[in-house]
């Protein structure tokens, strides 16, 4: 999947989690259940963020390394 698809997935996922968290009932027992559900949702959201960001960050690092390598090759070719 491309970065845009990951971002779209993440936004939809975050929106669903947000809507789930605000649809809490006013009963105190339900609030306790919601807080547990909210904590679980937050943990899942953080894992999703990590799963999305890690490959993107690695790809950006590889791109930067490639660009640096290409620049050093161009500079070396100019000196010859």
Give the structural domain span for 7: 3-79
Q: Angle at CA 46, nearest 5°, toward 40 and 47?
A: 90
Q: What is the pLDDT of residue 3?
A: 61
For the chain, the domain total comes to 1
- Model confidence pLDDT, tens digit, residues 7-31: 777 778 777 777 766 665 555 566 6
Q: Is-above-0.75 flag for pTM? A: no
pLDDT confidence tier of residue 62, bands split at 50, 70 and 90: very high
């Amino acid at each position: 999947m491309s970065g845009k698809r990951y971002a779209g997935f993440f936004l939809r996922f975050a929106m669903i989690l947000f809507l789930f968290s605000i649809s809490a009932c006013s009963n105190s027992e339900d609030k306790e259940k919601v807080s547990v559900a909210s904590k679980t949702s937050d943990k899942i959201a953080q894992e999703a963020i990590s799963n999305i960001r890690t490959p993107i960050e690695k790809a950006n690092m590889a791109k930067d390394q490639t660009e640096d390598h290409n620049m050093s090759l161009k500079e070396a070719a100019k000196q010859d």
